[in-house]
Amino acid sequence: MRFIDPFTEFDRIMQGATGPGTMPMDVFERDGDYMVRFDLAGIDPDDISLTVEHQVLTVTVERQWEDTEDVNWLVRERPSGRHSRQLRLSRKLDAAAMKASYDNGVLSVLIPTREEAKPFSVEIARDVPLALDN
């Protein structure tokens, strides 16, 4: 009789999507502005880098561990080293006005929409002919 542990299979499948070194994130939009949140539990804020180049937002983190040469590891799932994640930003977003904060292991990045990219209404004049001025 063959025994299949459904949790082991689930872990194997999920490892590919959210394996060590990945940064789980949420992205949502409200009133045309975008919020991106990254889970970075245990990362020192000084070890987080947030850059934008050619409309690509890059988050880079580095997790350093104390010297553990004389340790016999039984389980070591928390990633160490340097990890990054990139997001391509729409040209309608104002990357220069971006704001970021780090609180309780969550990096939050607010990316506003450029004013000229926000929808607006045009007033329609009545009984006024339009002409091109030379």
Predicted confidence (pLDDT) per residue in 32-87, tens digit: 899 999 999 889 999 999 999 998 999 999 987 776 788 888 887 777 788 999 99
Q: Would you list the domain boundaries of the chain?
A: 26-66+77-117
Dump strand ranges (E) for the chain: 25-30, 33-39, 48-53, 56-63, 81-88, 99-103, 106-111
pTM for the full predicted model = 0.69
Residue range 26-66+77-117 in CATH 2.60.40.790 = yes
